[in-house]
Structure 1
């Protein structure tokens, strides 16, 4: 198969319990426990009804303005998948709209992350299928290719590989290598417990804020 029109095998199967280990953890907390080095880019924002997204990445690389391989990815995706599309960040043509949204939902796809443009916002805004994109354009796509499926991609500066676990909420979207997910989930849940304790201490007035002045004094600030 020629370069530019390749469809590779899916990433390794991800056990359901590994996916569920990240369920209910905010992207911000997961990001904190990935060294704050990985992010989907502030430019990729949610456009759907706010439903939290979690699933397994099927990646697509396509030329700007063309969605042929996104259509093919929809046709071969499995329930629980998230399509992650590297469209080069171009906003000239929309690559996803209501018809593709309907097809994706019928296939059991749970989300789409596209470093490019979408359209038909009323339909997308009313849908629970997660849709994260760089922007919007009413101008439609071409369907000629080239494009590739299940290859390493970059969306908003974040590397994503086939089989990564992709999570998304109101703060944005994040991809986690499945092999690292159990450790990251454990650390993230510990952080959630610490933050719950902080919030409780704020509520009851027992919070200790002495660390702020101690940090400033250590930096030479006269207080």
Structure 2
């Protein structure tokens, strides 16, 4: 049976499918479950001018990824290693946790990290956000297709 990395290389041309350097926030805890995936790309300033995405919250694809969540799910985010702004903050993670989410694997960072640690969610993060801004240099591009 081929592994995911073999299939990604064969079908998608992705030869390096590993994320390195993630930090666990609760030592000794492991997670596993169905993955809800979310991919970010550099923001298109010709499409989103002056943070238009944030004018209508229902256009925020990362919210829709959490709407799909069921008990036991893990959100896996390709944030392109961008640490300039957090993908999720306390309120979005409270929503995910309330739906029974297991954890978040993210090669970027989250906002409101001190409040987020109090929840029984596991995190694999690139780092903690040093800012509280919600105006990132990247934008949600693709999510799990059901």
Alignment partner of 1:136 is 2:128: yes
- How far residue 84 of structure 1 moved from its aligned partner, in angstroms, is 0.3
- How far residue 48 of structure 1 moved from its aligned partner, in angstroms, is 4.0
1:104 & 1:93 partners in 2: Cα distance? 19
Structure 1's unaligned 5+ residue stretches are: 1-36, 152-161, 163-223
Alignment partner of 1:52 is 2:30: yes
2:134 & 2:86 partners in 1: Cα distance? 6
1:124 & 1:44 partners in 2: Cα distance? 17
Alignment partner of 1:62 is 2:55: no
Larger Rg, first or second structure (1 or 2): 1
Moved over 3 A (4+): 37-40, 48-51, 64-67, 142-146
Q: Structure 1 length as normaliser, TM-score?
A: 0.45
- How far residue 79 of structure 1 moved from its aligned partner, in angstroms, is 1.4
Higher helix share: 1
Distance 1:48 1:124, change over 3 A: farther
Deviation string 1:167-209 (CA, Å, 9 cap, x unpaired) is xxxxxxxxxxxxxxxxxxxxxxxxxxxxxxxxxxxxxxxxxxx
Q: Is the 8 A contact 1:82 1:109 kept in 2?
A: yes
1:50 & 1:120 partners in 2: Cα distance? 22
Structure 2's unaligned 5+ residue stretches are: 1-15, 44-52, 55-59
Equivalent pairs, count:
115
> SS at the partner of 1:123?
helix
Q: Kindly report the root-mean-square deviation, in angstroms, between the aligned alpha carbons of the 2 structures.
A: 3.0
